[in-house]
Amino acid sequence: MDKTTEDALREAALRYHETPEPGKLAIRVTKPMATQRDLSLAYSPGVAEACLRIRDEPDDAYRYTGKGNRVAVISNGTAVLGLGNIGAAASKPVMEGKVALFKKFANIDGFDIEVNESDPVKLAEIVIALEPTFGAVNLEDIKAPECFVVERLCKERMGIPVFHDDQHGTAIVVAAAAINALQIAGKTFGDAKIVSTGGGAAGIACLNLLCDLGVKRENIWLYDIGGLCHLGRDDLDDTKRSYARPTDDKTLAEALAGADMFLGLSAPGLLTGEMIAPMAKNPIIFALANPRPEIFPDEARDARADAIVATGRSDYPNQVNNVLCFPFIFRGALDVGATQINEEMKIACAHAIADLARQTSSAEAAAVYRGERMVFGRDYLIPKPFDPRLLGQIAAAVAKAATETGVARRPLPDPEAYRAKLDGSVFRSTMLMKPVFEAARSSSRRLVFAEGEDERVLRAAQSVVQEGVDRPILIGRPDVMAARIEREGLAIRPGKDFEICDPNNDPRYRDYWQTYHALMERRGVTPELARTIIRTNTTAIAAVMVHRGDADSLICGTFGQYLWHLRYVAQVLSGGPEKLRPVGALSPVILEQGVIFIADSQVNHEPTAEQVAETAIGAARHIKRFGIVPKVALLSHSVFGSLDTDSARKMRRALEILDEREVDFEYEGEMHADHALDADLRARIFPNSRLTGQANCLIFANVDAASGSRNILKQLTGGLEVGPILMGMGNKAHIVSPSVTPRGLLNIAALAGTPVQHYA
């Protein structure tokens, strides 16, 4: 990095920490505090009831306060990041950052506490005194050997987990990487010879955990600033002495000859290519000094092309990063009320991390790390921090281990249900889509993806297979799909896991273009044009496949304009004995407080009153598919007859049509959106409303209003859209938006894979 770039980075980092307000953290209130009654419940006199309950039963603090989701991040600033002993106050940005990572990755509320105390016994006393406030303690950036004393005293006297992340977090991620590196190298822990430089807190913790995994102490050579740790030295503390060799018989270079693994948590440039050249076959080199490792990966591979290398840097493969561990191990420990984080929980965490790297990378991580090939192997030993599956996989494994080893106050009754709950907190559509997926798994419907070459479609197709929804059909060129599957490291197999329709070479081509021509010859489509369309237009091909019964439902729209796709879908599939025709598009938008359904966001630009009523009926039918009771509001600038505008008259007529049809769901109109969403406000304006509570489906008078509202919700509130769902086509076609994600495609596939009897 040149000086100009370094200077720019420094300035950007300072601005990041200073603006728009200083620091990286804030506190928010989780309960209503808008009325005098709210205040009386939150504080005096109501708060006394919670206090008395906790006095009588101390564990009720986990029931009536936030203790069970609160971690103290405590440091005295004596060993910060690579900056050294900079003091407690200067360590605060790092501790705030740690708290921010807890919140970002595991939704844990942390508080940073910087303490001006270097005496380990006194520091331990301070930490111990904080136990009533927190559910767990994360010790951070305390220098060795004092950190060992602080942790030991705290663990002995506290009934909550105490975890020194510099030690154990590093050790867990190193262990996870080692599990996979040894597998790739064809070696075992029991036979591995390990040479380590670094007798600090992290280095010793790594060796301890590797021994728990099966490494033999007699196969470990530990070096520190004084050279080889051996029994003849009188400057070794107890932790180093436990790894001391009988005699001072080898230099570092000599010990590396024939070694299977080098573990470095020491100083930059300590290793050379000449030193690692005589290591055993497939040498494992974890050079973790930061920011400059003991040896750079390029130099290591120049000396040994078969080397498996990890560093602590983000600009090389296999970054050993504690964020893969600490948020999730704390999540699991807190959720079962663990009294400690024991060795079994650490080992479970390491195996969970290692196992995730062996799975196909997630679409979400691939989007963040675009351009990187995240396929298990020498350059991908451990998953990336932004893989959303980390939370469910690791926390569930840790909670299960805590339960099985008897340190959980609230043992897990159902580990799989717990994991599903965690996944649902990350993948926000999970709970909404649960009944849809259950219905889809019990069916057998053939889905065709029109844009089969799209990477998102390929990932979605793999998920369709894994979820057991069905064996999909993909339209596209086989060689292009195969190349992209290989590039992304997907496990899906063309021809085995999914069928292929190749527009350039499909034996059904003649049948398909003739079918399309027969449908369209009285609408100006010549045989030549029909042949061209069925050779080049994958949406038309998919529609013909559904029309002919070669597929049950199609999914298209990953590129292009919605109405362009709708044109071909409607041309081929409208009419027939089922009298299918596009009614409208329904967009479920998942917000923090729940889901809201928006219609019609795509199909009818200026719908008639009849079309509004049909949209409401279709929307209610779809809402029931999610296990939700529909409550439909017809929106207008008018409020229950206050204005005589076009939209007001349209919505009033739509209301009359719904009355005439005697539909089986709640509906009301015409009204403003705030009246639809606030029952108290609505009652003050119109006390005799037939709609109870908050509306969950908003029907707009035109596409502009619906589409605008949908996009505002998504952008300003972080709302997640499922769909849009095309109504009126008998579940035979769905058109997504170009911004759709692989998970969004999977959700649509589940909807498309639901049998008609579940659909109606």
The C-alpha atoms of residue 675 and residue 695 are separated, in whole angstroms, by 9
Question: HSE of 270 in the Cβ direction (CA atoms, 13 Å)?
Answer: 28
The Cα 729–Cα 579 span in angstroms is: 9
Q: Token digits for 507? A: 């034996």
Read off the tokens for 98: 């740690």
E-assigned strand segments in 51-167: 70-75, 109-114, 136-139, 162-164
The residues assigned a catalytic role are: 98
- The Cα 288–Cα 276 span in angstroms is 16
Q: How far is CA 677 from CA 582, 616, 633, 642, in A?
A: 28, 17, 9, 19
* CA 167 to each of CA 110, 139, 237, 439, 584: distance values in angstroms, whole numbers, following the listed order: 19, 9, 16, 47, 57
For helices 146-157 and 165-185, give the axis angle rounded to 10 degrees: 100
Q: What gap in Å lies between CA 381 and CA 183, rounded to an integer?
A: 10
> Could you write out the DSSP letters of every residue in 239-304?
HHHTT-BSS----HHHHHTT-SEEEE-S-TT---HHHHTTSPSS-EEEE--SSS-SS-HHHHHHH-
Torsions phi, psi of 633, nearest 5? -120, 130
Please give the Cα distance from 673 to 653 (Å, whole number): 18
Phi, psi of 202 (to 5 degrees): -65, -45
Which residue reads 């303490």 in tokens? 115
Backbone phi, psi, residue 720, to 5°: -110, 120
**CA–CA dist 172, 178 (Å, integer):** 10
| Orientation angle between helical segments 326-335 and 92-106, nearest 10 degrees | 60
526 three-state secondary structure: coil
* Cα–Cα nearest to 288, from 306, 273, 271: 271
Task: Give bridge partners of residue 726 from the DSSP assignment.
Answer: 585
Type of residue found at 550: D
Strands 499-501 and 220-224: what pairing? unpaired
Q: Provide the terminal-to-terminal Cα distance of the chain, rounded to the nearest Å.
A: 61
What are the angstrom distances between the C-alpha of 204 and each of 31, 52, 225, 367? 45, 45, 14, 36
Sign of the C-alpha dihedral computed for residues 208, 214, 217 and 222 taken in this order: negative
**Where are any strands of DSSP class E within 473-599?**
473-475, 499-501, 553-556, 584-591, 594-599
SS3 annotation, 638-650: CCCCCCCCHHHHH
Rounded Cα distance, 92 and 619, in Å: 51
